[in-house]
Chain A
């Protein structure tokens, strides 16, 4: 009897637990949708060029949940989003396909882009060009200025502007994603461990290259330093890079006025970029010089107007 009672009790509780778990699995998306939204030509282009081949979602319509509520911002314009989509495809996705193969791009390139029209302004005059989250999502800002950029600028000036405000941002954020998947070694953060300045990077003088940083922002912390080095390297020509190194060399004298023991800025940058080069080669099988050449060639095509950035007809 005791056994029967044990069994009865066990069965009863088991039944209880089973009968209480007959709920459908949680859907990842709301079941309440704006089903009336029709797919336009741009949506179809994105599906064909990004979603189907790479599983990349390119969100250009505003969604509050994707945005950073700490900033006041506005949606992207469709006109700007179309240009940005073409730039991401031609200058980034296709470049990585060419250098590292489509499986690399499919495997690691961010799976979601979220666009906003303006920059994310801070209260101190600085503004954010883009952010990366969790190895999957990149937020790109300033989209609404793109049509104007193409109207007003051309040639090298256009290329430099696109690099500085848009394209470098994608490579910079993608670098963070790669670093999150495979970390770089501690020797990078030990090259200039004592001169990172956190948020005060914008208050420093202009001799950041003399201190061994490729940009002023690179001084904030080692992760940004790494991402700035790689992204600046691959979006610029070898001549531009050499000019930065020469500048670093000449600025070293200024830095040594305050710190006589400061190392040579050129040598510091060269040490760091070698670590970056080895990381990309050993962790990802990518030669950063080849990547630089491919991106440079493609940027020249954009500067020369050889790439149609406005058409989404399929």
Chain B
């Protein structure tokens, strides 16, 4: 017993030094002081810029890259957006610490919060952020890297070299002048093709003829004469971050690599898609008339005439001049969400997986009454989407057909295969 007590006493005494708080300081200042000092530096830097800043902004959905011009005072920020450089709006901002250094646009500004503002039709808004973690500050270039707290997209602040209004007018002039659906270049013997979707500012790029697995989708914003990518990307051993446009030669280039413009086969312009079509379904068993109307110019259409209960959004792939039609929410009731569900009408299976759908490309784009054939987009690995069902979901669980939400086919079913033939008025 006595031995045990000795051991306890010795152990207790040995343990005592572990509580001494004499760890050497690595930094001259405490973590809190350093965080406060960093935020003060950022504020000082933001305010000091004579012309303010560009913000390359990437909301999560629909619209991939867009540009703001911002000017900061010690308490407020004035924002202009490329959609109308003549209009500005001022609101407050905060620099604070919330698990990371954060820049928050913390009172409403209809320009700055336009991609984050929800509605009954878009309850998730366009996924835009207004609170950003500050992930990097380059003291030489003064670039400030931000990450959206909700979308996790990288957005970047860069000092402006001219007034924001003038800069955004340059962006818009470039947007109007540049007609470049696709380009190609050879790198280390491999021919690459790049397809620009000007509607949602994304570009798919990969080896010629490669499957979707081998292509990358990169997002960009426009500057006065460049495409600036959200993050650098590589092709072979070349890395790209910003392509400069050569208007005379209709080509983009960076680091000695030139992407020469070409027009993909079967290319249909956004304007050509507007109007009436004869939609044929069930491999020709039935047909009715639908109309594609503008939803978001150069980016998407609404399909009118498919159903009296909803009008689905049909995407426009401006790089390839074709339609994309994916699973989407079309309504709801109580806790139920109604979706337009991709359907393999040959195999008899449906899915509610996001991204599954069909691609509609022209068989021959040279004729006025062109025919669009819809084929599976490859996202649904097990089956091939060729038709649609109006289906209800309760959270992530299937809740059955919405049989009273009929389409012009006369039921909640629109069997494949589907084609659309342009009606020449």
Identify the A interface with B (CB < 8 A). 1-2, 5-6, 8-9, 12-13, 15-16, 19-20, 22, 30-38, 40, 60-65, 71-78, 80-81, 117-119, 121-125, 127, 144, 199-200, 202-203
Contacts and interface: CB of A to CB of B under 8 A. Distances in A.
Contacts of B259: none
A5 B123 contact: no
A127 B122 CA distance: 12
B104 A62 contact: yes
Interface centre among A36, A74, A124 (most CB of B within 10 A): A74
B108 interface: yes
Contacts of B6: 5
Contacts, number: 141
Given A123-B329, A125-B332, A200-B334, 10 more contacts: A2-B2, A30-B97, A32-B36, A36-B40, A36-B43, A72-B125, A72-B150, A75-B107, A77-B107, A127-B120
Contact of A5 (B9, B120, B335): B9
B2 A62 contact: no
Interface string B72-108: 0011000000000000000110111110000011111
Contacts of A65: 98
Interface of B: 1-2, 5-6, 8-9, 12-13, 15-16, 19, 21, 32, 35-36, 39-40, 43, 74-75, 91-92, 94-98, 104-108, 113, 116-120, 123-125, 127, 130-131, 149-150, 329, 331-337
B131 A19 contact: no
A2 B5 contact: yes
A20 B2 contact: no
Main secondary structure of the interface of B (DSSP, over half): mixed
Contacts of A199: 334-335
Main secondary structure of the interface of A (DSSP, over half): loop
Contact of B36 (A5, A19, A22, A35): A35
Given A32-B32, A72-B125, A12 B13 contact: yes
Contacts of A1: 2
A60 B332 CA distance: 32
Given A34-B94, A36-B95, A9 B5 contact: yes
Given A16-B16, A199-B335, A121 B123 contact: yes
Given A9-B9, A32-B36, A64-B149, A78 B107 contact: yes
Nearest to B15: A16
Contact of A38 (B8, B15, B75): B75
A37 B94 contact: yes
Nearest to A144: B108
Given A9-B9, A74-B117, A121-B119, A32 B97 contact: yes
A224 to B, nearest CB: 15
Contact of A13 (B12, B104, B108, B113): B12
